[in-house]
């Protein structure tokens, strides 16, 4: 496929419009969560990329991590996402303060300690900056990542009562969800009023 073709987004007007509205709300200071679900190859990652690029054009920092099939390194999707900001000169690396690297190194430490540092590092780095956090292929995220993600999203929600937290989190999930743990994580997220789920249909 030619590069130009790969970059063109066909259709998905509804998804783009929802993405735009969620970016508006997130930029205004209320954290938002968007779950994009659908079958293999339907276009979830492509839509996530389109929305995150729209956010980037509006000045957001994009953090991108992904679950990996048959690879369950603790915290991999989260640490990968947080490490994305390392090359951004204006921002402190989160992976540094977390003591984690992209291989999940350091993840053996006491999870409670690690989580506290993850919270603080995330809040510090966020500051007032708009962020689009994408976790692609949540169905392959290790259990530790799922728990930490839930925890961080609830934390951001609470923190937004006291200060401006400008984050849109986009999660993609391949359906049907076979993994019970992933199904529970998705169900938990969907109970939050700030979560919207879009099911992608064929183009």
The CB-of-9 to ligand ATP minimum distance in angstroms stands at 5
Q: Is residue 2 at the binding interface for ligand ATP, with CB under 6 A as the rule?
A: no
Which of the ranges 1-9, 37-45, 54-62, 139-147 carries the binding residues for Mg ion, by CB under 5 A? 37-45
CB contact at 8 A, 74 and 142: yes
CB of 112 to ligand ATP, least distance (A): 33
- What part of residues 147-166 is at the interface with ligand ATP (CB under 6 A)? none
Quick one: which of 39, 45, 54, 197 contacts Mg ion (CB under 5 A)?
A: 45
Q: How far apart are CA 21 and CA 30, in angstroms?
A: 12
If you count them, how many residues does the chain have?
A: 203
CA distance 201 to 36: 11
Please state, as a whole number, how many other Cβ atoms lie within 10 Å of the Cβ of residue 81: 25
CB of 16 to ligand ATP, least distance (A): 10
Number of other residues whose CB lies within 10 A of the CB of residue 9: 14
Quote the CA–CA distance of 145 and 74 in Å, as a whole number: 7
- Of positions 23, 42, 152, 167, contacts ligand ATP by CB under 6 A: 42
- In the bound complex, what is the minimum distance in angstroms from residue 39's beta carbon to ligand ATP? 7
- Determine the 3-state secondary structure of 160 from DSSP: coil
Which of 2, 3, 10, 57 is the binder for ligand ATP (CB under 6 A)? 10
Closer CB to ligand ATP, residue 98 or residue 138? 138
Number of residues that bind ligand ATP (CB under 6 A): 17
Neighbour-count burial of 172, counting CB atoms closer than 10 A to its CB (0-12 exposed, 13-18 middle, 19+ buried): buried
Nearest-approach distance from CB 59 to ligand ATP, in angstroms: 24
CA angle 145, 98, 102 (to 5 degrees): 60
- Binding of ligand ATP at residue 13 (CB under 6 A)? no
Tokens of 179: 């993994």
Which residues bind to ligand ATP, rule: CB under 6 A? Answer: 6, 8-12, 38, 40-46, 137, 174, 203
Which residues bind to Mg ion, rule: CB under 5 A? Answer: 44-45
């Amino acid at each position: 496929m030619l590069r130009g073709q790969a970059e063109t987004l066909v259709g998905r007007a509804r998804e783009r419009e929802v993405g735009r509205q969620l970016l508006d709300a997130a930029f205004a200071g209320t954290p938002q969560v968007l779950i994009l679900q659908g079958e293999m190859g339907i276009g979830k990652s492509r839509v996530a990329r389109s929305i995150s690029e729209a956010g980037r054009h509006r000045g957001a920092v994009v953090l991108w991590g992904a679950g990996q099939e048959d690879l369950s390194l603790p915290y991999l999707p989260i640490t990968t996402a947080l490490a994305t900001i390392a090359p951004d000169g204006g921002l402190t690396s989160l992976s540094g303060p977390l003591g984690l690297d992209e291989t999940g190194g350091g993840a053996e430490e006491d999870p409670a300690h690690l989580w506290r540092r993850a919270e603080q590092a995330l809040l510090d780095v966020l500051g007032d900056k708009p962020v689009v956090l994408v976790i692609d292929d949540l169905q392959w995220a290790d259990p530790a990542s799922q728990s930490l993600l839930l925890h961080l999203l609830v934390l951001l929600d609470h923190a937004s009562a006291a200060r401006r937290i400008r984050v849109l989190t986009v999660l993609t999930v391949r359906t049907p969800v076979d993994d019970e743990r992933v199904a529970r994580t998705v169900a938990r997220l969907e109970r939050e009023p700030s979560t919207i789920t879009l099911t992608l249909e064929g183009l």
